[in-house]
Structure 1
Protein backbone atom coordinates (compact mmCIF):
# COMPACT_ATOMS: atom_id res chain seq x y z
CA UNK A 1 0.00 0.00 0.00
CA UNK A 2 1.12 3.48 -0.75
CA UNK A 3 0.43 6.57 1.35
CA UNK A 4 -3.20 7.66 1.23
CA UNK A 5 -4.56 4.10 0.92
CA UNK A 6 -3.67 3.70 -2.79
CA UNK A 7 -2.31 0.38 -3.99
CA UNK A 8 1.10 0.22 -5.65
CA UNK A 9 1.02 -0.86 -9.31
CA UNK A 10 1.68 -4.56 -9.90
CA UNK A 11 5.01 -5.24 -11.58
CA UNK A 12 5.94 -8.41 -13.46
CA UNK A 13 9.58 -7.33 -13.65
CA UNK A 14 11.98 -9.97 -12.38
CA UNK A 15 14.70 -8.59 -10.13
CA UNK A 16 17.33 -10.06 -7.91
CA UNK A 17 16.97 -7.18 -5.47
CA UNK A 18 14.68 -6.76 -2.50
CA UNK A 19 10.94 -6.16 -2.55
CA UNK A 20 11.29 -2.85 -4.48
CA UNK A 21 12.78 -2.58 -7.94
CA UNK A 22 16.40 -1.56 -7.83
CA UNK A 23 16.81 -2.14 -4.10
CA UNK A 24 19.93 -4.24 -3.53
CA UNK A 25 19.50 -7.39 -1.53
CA UNK A 26 21.17 -6.49 1.73
CA UNK A 27 20.66 -8.42 4.89
CA UNK A 28 22.38 -8.89 8.20
CA UNK A 29 21.27 -12.53 8.17
CA UNK A 30 24.28 -14.86 8.26
CA UNK A 31 22.40 -18.14 8.47
CA UNK A 32 23.60 -21.00 6.31
CA UNK A 33 20.35 -20.94 4.30
CA UNK A 34 20.68 -17.21 3.60
CA UNK A 35 24.34 -17.55 2.55
CA UNK A 36 23.46 -20.45 0.25
CA UNK A 37 20.65 -18.43 -1.37
CA UNK A 38 22.94 -15.40 -1.69
CA UNK A 39 25.55 -17.50 -3.49
CA UNK A 40 22.91 -18.80 -5.93
CA UNK A 41 21.75 -15.24 -6.63
CA UNK A 42 25.32 -14.08 -7.24
CA UNK A 43 25.81 -16.97 -9.67
CA UNK A 44 22.63 -16.04 -11.53
CA UNK A 45 23.77 -12.42 -11.86
CA UNK A 46 26.84 -13.72 -13.69
CA UNK A 47 24.77 -15.21 -16.51
CA UNK A 48 24.77 -13.16 -19.69
CA UNK A 49 21.59 -12.59 -21.65
CA UNK A 50 22.41 -12.85 -25.35
CA UNK A 51 20.74 -10.43 -27.73
CA UNK A 52 20.48 -11.05 -31.46
CA UNK A 53 23.22 -8.43 -31.92
CA UNK A 54 25.50 -10.32 -29.49
CA UNK A 55 24.89 -13.54 -31.44
CA UNK A 56 25.57 -11.80 -34.79
CA UNK A 57 28.76 -10.16 -33.44
CA UNK A 58 30.09 -13.47 -32.17
CA UNK A 59 29.18 -15.28 -35.38
CA UNK A 60 30.96 -12.61 -37.42
CA UNK A 61 34.04 -12.88 -35.18
CA UNK A 62 33.85 -16.70 -35.39
CA UNK A 63 33.82 -17.08 -31.60
CA UNK A 64 31.30 -18.30 -29.09
CA UNK A 65 31.24 -17.28 -25.43
CA UNK A 66 27.91 -18.97 -24.74
CA UNK A 67 28.02 -21.82 -22.27
CA UNK A 68 25.38 -24.49 -22.56
CA UNK A 69 24.18 -26.88 -19.92
CA UNK A 70 25.10 -30.43 -20.77
CA UNK A 71 21.60 -31.56 -21.67
CA UNK A 72 22.56 -33.43 -24.81
CA UNK A 73 25.62 -35.27 -23.55
CA UNK A 74 26.37 -38.22 -25.82
CA UNK A 75 28.92 -40.59 -24.31
CA UNK A 76 29.11 -42.92 -27.31
CA UNK A 77 32.57 -42.03 -28.64
CA UNK A 78 32.47 -44.83 -31.18
CA UNK A 79 29.22 -45.28 -33.08
CA UNK A 80 29.04 -47.90 -35.75
CA UNK A 81 26.45 -49.47 -38.01
CA UNK A 82 27.25 -53.18 -38.00
CA UNK A 83 28.50 -54.65 -41.25
CA UNK A 84 28.55 -58.22 -42.55
CA UNK A 85 31.92 -59.14 -40.96
CA UNK A 86 30.91 -57.54 -37.63
CA UNK A 87 28.01 -60.01 -37.41
CA UNK A 88 29.63 -63.23 -38.61
CA UNK A 89 33.29 -62.88 -37.63
CA UNK A 90 34.54 -60.00 -35.38
CA UNK A 91 33.88 -56.36 -34.55
CA UNK A 92 36.32 -53.99 -36.24
CA UNK A 93 37.15 -51.05 -33.95
CA UNK A 94 38.30 -47.59 -35.03
CA UNK A 95 42.06 -47.36 -34.64
CA UNK A 96 41.99 -43.65 -33.71
CA UNK A 97 39.55 -44.33 -30.84
CA UNK A 98 41.56 -47.33 -29.67
CA UNK A 99 44.89 -45.47 -29.79
CA UNK A 100 43.51 -42.37 -28.06
CA UNK A 101 41.01 -43.68 -25.51
CA UNK A 102 41.50 -47.40 -24.91
CA UNK A 103 45.05 -48.66 -25.27
CA UNK A 104 46.65 -45.97 -23.03
CA UNK A 105 44.04 -46.68 -20.33
CA UNK A 106 44.36 -50.45 -20.15
CA UNK A 107 45.64 -51.84 -16.86
CA UNK A 108 49.33 -52.78 -16.75
CA UNK A 109 48.77 -56.49 -17.37
CA UNK A 110 46.56 -55.81 -20.41
CA UNK A 111 49.11 -53.32 -21.80
CA UNK A 112 51.85 -55.95 -21.41
CA UNK A 113 49.71 -58.57 -23.17
CA UNK A 114 48.93 -56.20 -26.05
CA UNK A 115 52.61 -55.26 -26.42
CA UNK A 116 53.84 -58.88 -26.43
CA UNK A 117 50.94 -60.99 -27.72
CA UNK A 118 48.84 -58.41 -29.63
CA UNK A 119 45.81 -59.55 -27.63
CA UNK A 120 44.21 -59.31 -24.20
CA UNK A 121 40.85 -59.92 -22.56
CA UNK A 122 38.76 -56.82 -21.82
CA UNK A 123 35.54 -56.32 -19.89
CA UNK A 124 32.51 -54.96 -21.74
CA UNK A 125 29.51 -53.71 -19.81
CA UNK A 126 26.23 -53.97 -21.73
CA UNK A 127 24.39 -50.85 -20.57
CA UNK A 128 21.08 -52.06 -22.02
CA UNK A 129 20.99 -55.37 -20.15
CA UNK A 130 23.24 -54.26 -17.26
CA UNK A 131 25.50 -57.28 -17.69
CA UNK A 132 29.29 -57.75 -17.86
CA UNK A 133 31.06 -59.81 -20.51
CA UNK A 134 34.63 -60.64 -21.47
CA UNK A 135 35.84 -60.32 -25.04
CA UNK A 136 39.24 -60.73 -26.62
CA UNK A 137 40.77 -57.49 -27.87
CA UNK A 138 43.18 -58.29 -30.67
CA UNK A 139 45.52 -56.13 -32.75
CA UNK A 140 46.15 -57.41 -36.28
CA UNK A 141 47.65 -55.93 -39.44
CA UNK A 142 44.13 -55.14 -40.68
CA UNK A 143 43.16 -53.28 -37.49
CA UNK A 144 41.99 -53.75 -33.92
CA UNK A 145 39.09 -56.10 -33.24
CA UNK A 146 36.83 -57.63 -30.61
CA UNK A 147 37.14 -61.35 -31.33
CA UNK A 148 36.61 -64.69 -29.60
CA UNK A 149 33.34 -64.37 -27.64
CA UNK A 150 32.07 -61.24 -29.47
CA UNK A 151 29.65 -63.35 -31.55
CA UNK A 152 28.34 -65.38 -28.59
CA UNK A 153 28.21 -62.57 -25.99
CA UNK A 154 26.84 -59.82 -28.20
CA UNK A 155 25.70 -60.82 -31.70
CA UNK A 156 23.80 -63.95 -30.68
CA UNK A 157 22.72 -62.88 -27.19
CA UNK A 158 21.48 -59.45 -28.33
CA UNK A 159 20.22 -60.75 -31.70
CA UNK A 160 22.25 -58.18 -33.60
CA UNK A 161 22.05 -58.01 -37.35
CA UNK A 162 23.67 -56.11 -40.18
CA UNK A 163 22.58 -52.46 -40.09
CA UNK A 164 22.04 -52.27 -36.32
CA UNK A 165 23.86 -49.24 -34.90
CA UNK A 166 25.91 -49.72 -31.74
CA UNK A 167 27.75 -47.32 -29.46
CA UNK A 168 30.85 -47.97 -27.37
CA UNK A 169 32.93 -45.85 -25.05
CA UNK A 170 35.81 -46.63 -22.69
CA UNK A 171 35.14 -46.22 -18.97
CA UNK A 172 38.63 -45.41 -17.70
CA UNK A 173 37.98 -45.72 -13.97
CA UNK A 174 36.66 -49.27 -14.36
CA UNK A 175 39.00 -50.35 -17.20
CA UNK A 176 36.15 -51.52 -19.39
CA UNK A 177 34.17 -50.69 -22.50
CA UNK A 178 30.51 -49.79 -22.24
CA UNK A 179 28.25 -51.06 -25.03
CA UNK A 180 24.73 -50.20 -26.19
CA UNK A 181 22.50 -50.89 -29.17
CA UNK A 182 21.63 -47.37 -30.33
CA UNK A 183 19.32 -48.25 -33.21
CA UNK A 184 17.91 -51.46 -34.63
CA UNK A 185 17.77 -52.13 -38.36
CA UNK A 186 14.28 -52.98 -39.59
CA UNK A 187 13.30 -56.57 -38.79
CA UNK A 188 11.27 -58.94 -40.91
CA UNK A 189 8.05 -60.37 -39.52
CA UNK A 190 9.77 -63.75 -39.00
CA UNK A 191 12.62 -62.12 -37.06
CA UNK A 192 10.16 -60.31 -34.83
CA UNK A 193 8.24 -63.53 -34.12
CA UNK A 194 11.52 -65.39 -33.28
CA UNK A 195 12.77 -62.62 -30.97
Structure 2
Protein backbone atom coordinates (compact mmCIF):
# COMPACT_ATOMS: atom_id res chain seq x y z
CA UNK A 1 0.00 0.00 0.00
CA UNK A 2 1.33 3.48 -0.97
CA UNK A 3 1.25 5.99 1.89
CA UNK A 4 2.84 8.93 0.04
CA UNK A 5 6.30 8.24 1.46
CA UNK A 6 9.18 7.51 -0.86
CA UNK A 7 11.56 4.69 -0.02
CA UNK A 8 13.96 5.79 -2.75
CA UNK A 9 17.32 6.79 -1.25
CA UNK A 10 18.89 9.90 -2.77
CA UNK A 11 22.60 10.03 -1.95
CA UNK A 12 23.62 13.00 -4.07
CA UNK A 13 21.98 15.92 -5.80
CA UNK A 14 24.08 17.66 -8.42
CA UNK A 15 24.28 21.34 -7.38
CA UNK A 16 25.41 22.49 -10.85
CA UNK A 17 21.93 23.26 -12.16
CA UNK A 18 23.14 25.30 -15.13
CA UNK A 19 25.63 23.47 -17.33
CA UNK A 20 27.15 24.72 -20.53
CA UNK A 21 29.72 23.54 -23.03
CA UNK A 22 31.58 26.71 -23.94
CA UNK A 23 31.51 27.90 -27.55
CA UNK A 24 33.94 30.10 -29.46
CA UNK A 25 31.74 33.14 -28.76
CA UNK A 26 31.92 32.46 -24.98
CA UNK A 27 35.73 32.53 -24.97
CA UNK A 28 36.19 35.22 -27.63
CA UNK A 29 38.36 38.08 -26.34
CA UNK A 30 36.35 40.65 -28.33
CA UNK A 31 32.82 39.61 -27.33
CA UNK A 32 33.59 39.48 -23.56
CA UNK A 33 30.46 37.56 -22.55
CA UNK A 34 29.15 34.23 -21.38
CA UNK A 35 25.85 33.53 -23.15
CA UNK A 36 23.33 31.53 -21.09
CA UNK A 37 20.08 29.92 -22.28
CA UNK A 38 16.89 31.58 -21.09
CA UNK A 39 15.15 28.35 -20.01
CA UNK A 40 17.76 27.37 -17.43
CA UNK A 41 18.17 30.91 -16.16
CA UNK A 42 14.42 31.51 -15.84
CA UNK A 43 13.95 28.24 -13.97
CA UNK A 44 16.94 28.35 -11.62
CA UNK A 45 17.65 32.07 -11.16
CA UNK A 46 14.82 34.42 -12.10
CA UNK A 47 12.18 32.27 -10.37
CA UNK A 48 14.20 32.48 -7.13
CA UNK A 49 15.09 36.18 -7.29
CA UNK A 50 11.98 38.18 -8.09
CA UNK A 51 11.48 41.91 -7.44
CA UNK A 52 14.07 44.60 -7.98
CA UNK A 53 16.85 42.22 -9.00
CA UNK A 54 14.77 40.88 -11.88
CA UNK A 55 13.96 44.44 -12.98
CA UNK A 56 17.68 45.28 -13.10
CA UNK A 57 18.47 42.12 -15.08
CA UNK A 58 15.72 42.92 -17.56
CA UNK A 59 16.85 46.49 -18.22
CA UNK A 60 19.98 47.47 -20.11
CA UNK A 61 21.96 48.18 -16.93
CA UNK A 62 21.87 44.63 -15.58
CA UNK A 63 22.52 43.44 -12.04
CA UNK A 64 25.98 43.36 -10.44
CA UNK A 65 26.57 39.87 -9.08
CA UNK A 66 29.35 38.06 -7.28
CA UNK A 67 30.60 34.88 -8.92
CA UNK A 68 32.48 32.47 -6.63
CA UNK A 69 35.04 30.33 -8.44
CA UNK A 70 34.58 27.06 -6.59
CA UNK A 71 37.82 25.56 -7.93
CA UNK A 72 40.14 28.41 -6.93
CA UNK A 73 38.29 30.02 -4.02
CA UNK A 74 38.19 33.45 -5.72
CA UNK A 75 35.29 35.91 -5.86
CA UNK A 76 34.70 38.11 -8.89
CA UNK A 77 32.11 40.75 -9.67
CA UNK A 78 30.34 40.57 -13.03
CA UNK A 79 27.15 41.99 -14.53
CA UNK A 80 24.21 39.68 -15.23
CA UNK A 81 21.61 40.86 -17.74
CA UNK A 82 19.05 39.75 -20.27
CA UNK A 83 19.39 40.29 -23.98
CA UNK A 84 15.88 40.88 -25.24
CA UNK A 85 16.83 40.43 -28.90
CA UNK A 86 17.90 36.81 -28.38
CA UNK A 87 15.94 36.23 -25.15
CA UNK A 88 19.17 34.94 -23.60
CA UNK A 89 21.11 36.01 -20.54
CA UNK A 90 24.75 37.06 -20.36
CA UNK A 91 27.47 37.48 -17.77
CA UNK A 92 29.65 40.41 -18.84
CA UNK A 93 32.09 42.99 -17.50
CA UNK A 94 35.29 41.08 -16.70
CA UNK A 95 34.11 37.64 -17.90
CA UNK A 96 37.16 37.33 -20.18
CA UNK A 97 39.78 38.60 -17.74
CA UNK A 98 38.40 36.97 -14.59
CA UNK A 99 37.44 33.62 -16.07
CA UNK A 100 38.51 32.94 -19.68
CA UNK A 101 42.12 34.11 -19.36
CA UNK A 102 42.72 33.29 -15.69
CA UNK A 103 41.19 29.81 -15.93
CA UNK A 104 42.45 29.24 -19.51
CA UNK A 105 38.96 28.34 -20.70
CA UNK A 106 38.56 27.04 -24.25
CA UNK A 107 35.64 26.21 -26.48
CA UNK A 108 34.50 22.69 -25.66
CA UNK A 109 35.14 23.02 -21.90
CA UNK A 110 32.07 22.31 -19.78
CA UNK A 111 31.21 24.68 -16.95
CA UNK A 112 28.57 24.63 -14.25
CA UNK A 113 26.77 27.39 -12.36
CA UNK A 114 24.20 27.63 -9.62
CA UNK A 115 22.74 30.38 -7.46
CA UNK A 116 23.99 30.04 -3.89
CA UNK A 117 21.12 31.73 -2.02
CA UNK A 118 22.79 31.44 1.39
CA UNK A 119 25.77 33.52 0.19
CA UNK A 120 23.84 35.56 -2.41
CA UNK A 121 26.19 34.72 -5.28
CA UNK A 122 26.68 32.49 -8.29
CA UNK A 123 28.97 29.51 -7.87
CA UNK A 124 31.08 28.59 -10.90
CA UNK A 125 33.08 25.46 -11.64
CA UNK A 126 34.90 23.91 -14.58
CA UNK A 127 33.24 20.50 -14.84
CA UNK A 128 35.25 19.07 -17.74
CA UNK A 129 38.05 20.17 -20.03
CA UNK A 130 37.90 19.58 -23.76
CA UNK A 131 40.30 16.89 -24.82
CA UNK A 132 42.86 18.53 -27.10
CA UNK A 133 43.09 17.15 -30.61
CA UNK A 134 39.37 16.50 -30.96
Report the TM-score, using the length of structure 2 for normalisation: 0.80
1:43-62, aligned counterparts within 5 Å?
none
The aligned counterpart of 2:43 is 100
The aligned counterpart of 1:122 is 65
More strand by share: 2
Distance in 1 between residues matched to 2:125 and 2:95, nearest whole Å: 14
Distance in 2 between residues matched to 1:80 and 1:112, nearest whole Å: 25
Deviations 1:118-150 (A, max 9, x none): 511111111000111111112112111111211
Aligned residues between the structures: 124
Deviations 1:19-39 (A, max 9, x none): xxxxxxxxxxxxxxxxxxxxx
User: Cα 1:87–1:116, aligned 2, differ >3 Å: closer, same or farther?
Assistant: closer
1:55-94, aligned counterparts within 5 Å?
65-70=6-11, 72-88=12-28, 89=31, 90-94=33-37
Task: Please tell me whether the aligned partners of residues 110 and 121 of structure 1 are also in contact (alpha carbons under 8 angstroms).
Answer: no
Distance in 2 between residues matched to 1:122 and 1:136, nearest whole Å: 6
Query: How far off its partner does 1:103 sit?
Result: 2.1
Match for residue 180 of structure 1 among 93, 104, 125: 125
Distance in 2 between residues matched to 1:78 and 1:131, nearest whole Å: 20
Distance in 2 between residues matched to 1:67 and 1:107, nearest whole Å: 33
User: Cα 1:124–1:105, aligned 2, differ >3 Å: closer, same or farther?
Assistant: same
SS in 2 for 1:173: coil
**Which structure ranks higher in relative contact order (CA pairs < 8 Å, sequence separation ≥ 6)?**
2
Query: How far off its partner does 1:185 sit?
Result: 1.0
Distance in 2 between residues matched to 1:155 and 1:139, nearest whole Å: 21
Report the TM-score, using the length of structure 1 for normalisation: 0.57
Query: How far off its partner does 1:73 sit?
Result: 2.4
SS in 2 for 1:122: strand
